[in-house]
Amino acid sequence: MSGQILAFALVLAQLMLGASLLCATYRLVAGPRAQDRVLGLDSLYVNAMLMLLVFGIRTGKTVYFEAALIIAILGFAATMALAKFLMRGEVIE
């Protein structure tokens, strides 16, 4: 019984994260300003990371957790670089 509830919750979480990925992609593509696009990119990588985590829980394989960690690190670095570029016009001083 609890296995069925967990399986249903994981599928529901993946569906919700998929919808969130679509919304973030729309914000990334159609954002009227550059700040909106950076916010869309930030939420896109967070949702992709969470999607991998949920998929890793469903399958029980640890490779998905490692991939989610790499996405989190690279996404954070990309967000910081884009924010610095928007503030100062350059990334490397």
Looking at the predicted structure, is the pLDDT value of residue 90 above 90? no
How much is the pLDDT for 93? 66
How much is the pLDDT for 58? 93
* Chain segment 1-58, per-residue pLDDT in tens: 888 999 999 999 999 999 999 999 999 999 898 888 889 989 999 999 999 999 999 9
How much is the pLDDT for 91? 66
| Ordered structural domains, the chain, with CATH | 2-88 (1.10.287)
Which backbone phi and psi does 18 adopt, to 5 degrees?
-65, -40
The continuous run of DSSP H or E covering 1 comes out as none
Burial 10-34 (b: 16+ CB within 10 A, else e): eeebeeebeebbeebeebbeeeeee
How much is the pLDDT for 80? 87
How much is the pLDDT for 47? 96
